[in-house]
Every structure is written in structure tokens, then in C-alpha cells.
């Protein structure tokens, strides 16, 4: 194998050279600075976002971005892959170890790309699969009509129980027995409670289906051992790497060894071309971070904080669906306070609090209005905030949403923003050295 003399970092390491960018392109450099200012200046409560480490960002901003490497380590369609092969091999081994998985593919560009690979590996156009409906907490790529998954496949959807607002397991079983789907999918983007993976595994075995978990939202909690893992139960688990996990914006999948060849072929060459080697290197860095005791403590605190935030919002009349959360996110019904999701999002934003409107189960409103909001604690926990701050944040959200206004100059917006500024000054995002 060719040996490459490493460039000394003291010589010139070409990666993340902000000074050079600023000199050449002040327009884009300005956007990068304002975005960092935005992150630092407000409360980031979007449940699917986080703040990845400077180490992850350095790998992302490296010369590995240049390399074409179609194929897999040792089996590429381009020369010169010896160094990126090392990065991908390290990423694969770390991913397998982190999740105790038989096989890992770290090439999917995103969660949606990882999901495409599952369709490609196990289904033909027109085949039936069973998944949670988007308005009930599922995901666009789980068979929504506007997505390839709903256009090219026959999606049968389950929802939640009206009473508990948790997954309606009786309905799941009834639909599986009636439709005999090729694939049964568990997971989504607004599910606050733990999922009964054993139930899904047994059902999939009964009807002869592949059991797929889309763990994009909660995989970081699994990595930190804060919640149970789907890996022992599922044939395949897809996920994103940028949510609680706190890695680069990307995706990955782990699976049983028997499905490795089919899924690898579905990722490349069926769905993707050249893998993004800088992102794969950044995923490797992230998997190493996630194997530390510090990360496990972080994951535990994310859940503790989410529980507190959900409870405290409930005490202000902003009701958590399912009565609370077991994970990093909670979904809240605003009907009791007479505000729509779209108005709540705008009022919070004017007060320096970033969250998103969200449909709640059986929502009477259209998705672009919505009767709910979704909040999550990955970012604030990364900043070091704890349960005391969650109680304070709930009060700020309630004030902004119930008494506030979408106008940033409104008195309530200004008052809440001043308290937000105090909080983020005490718990800074990307603290200065």
C-alpha cells in the first residue's frame, strides 16, 4: 500500500481556514458569522438539531471533501483512495461497536437517503409496507403521498390511540395481519414515548415482514444508553447523525449481517454515487465522542431535561401529548391556550426562542397551521443547562406564546428576549476559549 507522508499541521493544514474565507468572500463569511451569532443569541429548541463539536466541524471542513470514492473500502472505482479508505473503515468499526451491530453502512448522505436504501433493498415499486402516518408523528419518507415513498410504494399507515396518544399497537397488529406488508416500519419525527421493539419484531415474524426502525430522532439516546436499543430486534436501523447524536449533518444504517450485501448495494450504486468522505470522517469523530462516559451523561441529561420541560409547559396550560416524554422531545397541544402552532412559532421566534409548529394527533388544523408545537432539549443540554433552566424556559415559552406577539418590538417579545439573553450568556453555545 502506498505510504503518504502526513503534512505537518504546523505547516499549513488546509481546513476550516476562516481567515482565508473572510479575505476572499466576505459575503459568505458574513453569513457564517451571523449564523453563529443567531445560534449563540437565542434558545434552540428544535428537537432535531444540535451543536456538533469543533472536532467534527474540522473534519467536515477538510480536504477529504475533494475525493471521489465510489465503492467501499478496498473496492473503489477511483485511484487514490488509500487515505479515505482508512477514514471509512474507522467510521464503520466505530459505528458497529457503538451500537453492537453486525454491519454498518456509513455512506448515506442523510436520513432520507438511508431510508431510500431500505426501500431499494427490500421492496419493488407497488409493494406494500406499514408505517406510522406523518400527521400522527411519522415522517415524510414513510409513505407520505408527496414523497417518493408514497408515490412508488403502497403505504398502509397506523396512528396513535385517541386516549393514550401513544402508538395504537392493536391497530398496527390488525393492519399487518390484513395487508401482509413486505416491511413494517417503526419510528418517526414526533414520537415522545419509547417504542415497543419486541412487539414489532414478533409481529414482523408472524406476518413474514422485514422489521425496519427509523431511529433518526432517538439514536443519540441509544448511543448514550439512555433508552433501549432497537438494534437487537430490527433487521435494519436507519438514522441521521446530526440530531441528539451531535455529529455532522448526514445519515447511516446498521443491520443484521444477512442483509449487509443487499443494503450496501442499495446505498451504492442503486441510490447514491460518490460518498462524502469529509462527512464520513466527521461521522467517525462523532462515533468516538459518543463512546465516552461524558456523552452517556449528556444523553441521560437530555431526557431528564425533556421530561422537566414537558411537565413545566403542561403546568402553564401547554399540554404535553401522551402526558409527557421518555425521550429528547415533547409535543404540545396549544388548543387549551387558544393559540395555533404557526402563531406560537412566530411569537416564540420574536422572543428569541426557536421551536417548530407541529401537527398533533387528530389535529383539526392543516399541517401549515397546526395545533401544536414540538420542543426538544439536545441543544440546551449541550450548552450545559439543567432542569432548573428547563423550568425557566417553559415559563418564557408560555409568556411568549400566550401573551406575546410576532412583532420583535412588542413589549412581551422584548422582555422575554432579555431573559433569553441572560440564559444564553450564562450557558453559551460554542463558548469562546
Question: Rounded to the nearest whole angstrom, what is the least distance from the CB of residue 216 to ligand DSN in the complex?
Answer: 6
Whether the CB-CB separation of 143 and 157 falls below 8 Å is answered with: yes
Q: Which of 240, 279, 311, 382 is catalytic?
A: 240
Q: Which of 40, 96, 249, 403 is catalytic?
A: 249
> At how many degrees (to 10) do helices 341-350 and 411-426 cross?
70
| # residues near ligand DSN by CB under 6 A | 4
Whether the CB-CB separation of 78 and 216 falls below 8 Å is answered with: no
Confirm whether 240 is a catalytic residue: yes
Whether the CB-CB separation of 127 and 143 falls below 8 Å is answered with: no
Residue among 78, 199, 52 at smallest CA distance from 130: 199
Question: Rounded to the nearest whole angstrom, what is the least distance from the CB of residue 96 to ligand DSN in the complex?
Answer: 24
Q: What is the dihedral of CA 131, 133, 139, 145, to 10 degrees?
A: 100
Site for ligand DSN in 96-115 (CB under 6 A): 111
Question: Within its chain, how far is the Cα of 159 from the centroid?
Answer: 21
Peptide bond before 269: cis, by omega within 30 degrees of 0? yes
Whether the CB-CB separation of 345 and 371 falls below 8 Å is answered with: no
Q: Does 48 bind ligand DSN (CB under 6 A)?
A: yes
Q: Which of 68, 128, 161, 265 is catalytic?
A: 68
Site for ligand DSN in 373-412 (CB under 6 A): none
Distances in whole angstroms, Cα of residue 429 to Cα of each of 149, 252, 277: 37, 26, 27
Closer to ligand DSN by Cβ: residue 47 or 91? 47
Closer to ligand DSN by Cβ: residue 72 or 239? 239
> At how many degrees (to 10) do helices 293-315 and 387-398 cross?
40
Question: Rounded to the nearest whole angstrom, what is the least distance from the CB of residue 306 to ligand DSN in the complex?
Answer: 14
Q: Which runs of E-coded beta strand occur in 9-135?
A: 43-44, 71-72, 75-76, 103-105, 128-132
Site for ligand DSN in 321-350 (CB under 6 A): none
Q: x/- string (CB under 6 A) for ligand DSN, residues 112-151?
A: ---------------------------x------------
Confirm whether 86 is a catalytic residue: no
Question: Rounded to the nearest whole angstrom, what is the least distance from the CB of residue 303 to ligand DSN in the complex?
Answer: 17
Closer to ligand DSN by Cβ: residue 184 or 355? 355
Of these, 105, 189, 311, 399, which contacts ligand DSN (CB under 6 A)? 189
Distant-in-sequence, close-in-space partners of 243: CB < 8 Å, separation ≥ 6: 47, 48, 49, 50, 216, 217, 219, 220, 328, 378
Question: Cα(413)–Cα(406) distance, rounded to whole angstroms?
Answer: 8
Confirm whether 70 is a catalytic residue: yes
Closer to ligand DSN by Cβ: residue 138 or 181? 138
Question: Cα(306)–Cα(328) distance, rounded to whole angstroms?
Answer: 5
Question: Cα(59)–Cα(48) distance, rounded to whole angstroms?
Answer: 21
Whether the CB-CB separation of 143 and 135 falls below 8 Å is answered with: no
Cell of 42: 437565542
Q: Which of 49, 88, 214, 345 is catalytic?
A: 214
Closer to ligand DSN by Cβ: residue 111 or 143? 111
Confirm whether 170 is a catalytic residue: no
Cell of 294: 461524558
Closer to ligand DSN by Cβ: residue 147 or 305? 147
Closer to ligand DSN by Cβ: residue 69 or 133? 133
Confirm whether 119 is a catalytic residue: no
Question: Cα(237)–Cα(230) distance, rounded to whole angstroms?
Answer: 7
Q: Which of 58, 70, 340, 405 is catalytic?
A: 70
End-to-end CA distance of the chain: 41
Distant-in-sequence, close-in-space partners of 138: CB < 8 Å, separation ≥ 6: 131, 132, 144, 157, 188, 189
Closer to ligand DSN by Cβ: residue 189 or 413? 189
Confirm whether 366 is a catalytic residue: no
Q: x/- string (CB under 6 A) for ligand DSN, residues 204-243?
A: ----------------------------------------
| Residue positions annotated with a catalytic role | 68, 70, 214, 240, 243, 249
| Binding footprint of ligand DSN on the chain (CB under 6 A) | 48, 111, 139, 189
Amino acid at each position: 500500500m502506498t505510504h503518504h507522508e502526513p503534512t505537518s499541521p504546523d505547516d499549513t493544514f488546509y481546513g476550516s481556514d476562516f481567515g482565508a474565507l473572510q479575505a476572499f468572500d466576505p459575503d459568505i463569511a458574513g453569513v457564517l458569522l451571523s449564523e453563529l451569532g443567531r445560534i449563540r443569541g437565542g434558545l434552540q429548541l428544535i428537537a432535531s438539531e444540535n451543536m456538533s463539536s469543533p472536532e467534527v466541524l474540522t473534519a467536515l471542513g477538510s480536504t477529504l471533501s475533494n475525493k471521489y470514492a465510489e465503492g467501499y473500502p478496498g473496492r473503489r472505482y477511483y485511484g487514490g483512495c488509500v487515505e479515505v479508505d482508512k477514514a471509512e473503515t474507522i467510521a464503520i468499526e466505530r459505528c458497529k461497536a457503538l451500537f453492537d451491530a453486525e454491519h454498518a453502512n456509513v455512506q448515506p448522505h442523510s436520513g432520507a437517503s438511508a431510508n431510500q436504501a431500505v426501500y431499494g433493498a427490500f421492496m419493488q415499486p407497488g409493494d406494500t409496507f406499514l408505517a406510522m402516518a406523518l400527521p400522527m408523528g411519522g415522517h415524510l419518507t414513510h409513505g407520505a403521498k408527496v414523497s417518493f415513498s408514497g408515490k412508488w410504494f403502497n403505504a398502509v399507515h397506523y396512528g396513535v390511540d385517541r386516549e393514550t396518544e401513544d402508538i395504537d399497537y392493536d391497530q398496527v397488529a390488525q393492519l399487518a395481519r390484513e395487508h401482509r406488508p413486505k416491511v413494517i416500519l417503526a419510528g418517526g419525527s414526533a414520537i415522545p414515548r419509547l417504542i415497543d421493539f419486541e412487539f414489532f419484531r414478533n409481529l414482523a415474524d408472524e406476518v413474514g415482514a422485514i422489521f425496519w426502525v427509523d431511529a433518526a430522532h432517538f439514536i443519540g439516546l441509544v448511543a448514550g444508553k439512555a433508552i433501549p436499543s432497537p438494534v437487537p430486534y430490527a433487521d435494519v436501523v436507519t438514522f441521521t447523525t446530526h440530531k441528539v447524536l451531535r455529529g455532522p449533518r448526514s445519515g447511516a444504517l446498521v443491520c443484521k449481517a444477512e442483509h449487509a450485501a443487499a443494503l450496501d448495494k442499495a446505498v451504492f450504486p442503486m441510490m447514491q454515487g460518490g460518498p462524502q468522505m469529509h462527512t464520513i470522517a466527521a461521522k467517525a469523530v462523532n462515533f468516538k465522542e459518543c463512546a465516552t462516559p461524558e456523552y452517556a451523561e449528556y444523553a441521560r441529561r437530555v431526557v431528564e431535561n425533556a421530561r422537566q420541560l414537558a411537565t413545566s409547559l403542561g403546568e402553564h396550560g401547554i399540554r404535553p401529548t401522551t402526558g409527557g416524554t421518555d425521550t429528547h422531545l415533547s409535543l404540545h397541544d396549544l388548543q387549551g391556550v387558544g393559540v395555533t402552532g404557526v402563531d406560537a412559532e412566530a411569537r416564540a421566534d420574536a422572543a428569541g426562542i426557536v421551536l417548530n409548529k407541529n401537527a398533533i394527533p387528530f389535529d383539526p388544523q392543516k399541517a401549515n397551521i397546526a395545533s401544536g408545537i414540538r420542543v426538544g432539549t439536545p441543544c440546551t443540554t449541550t450548552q450545559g443547562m439543567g432542569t432548573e433552566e428547563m423550568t425557566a424556559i417553559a415559563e418564557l415559552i408560555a409568556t411568549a406564546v400566550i401573551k406575546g406577539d410576532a412583532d420583535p418590538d412588542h413589549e412581551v417579545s422584548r422582555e422575554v428576549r432579555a431573559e433569553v439573553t441572560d440564559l444564553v450568556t450564562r450557558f453559551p453555545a460554542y463558548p469562546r476559549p
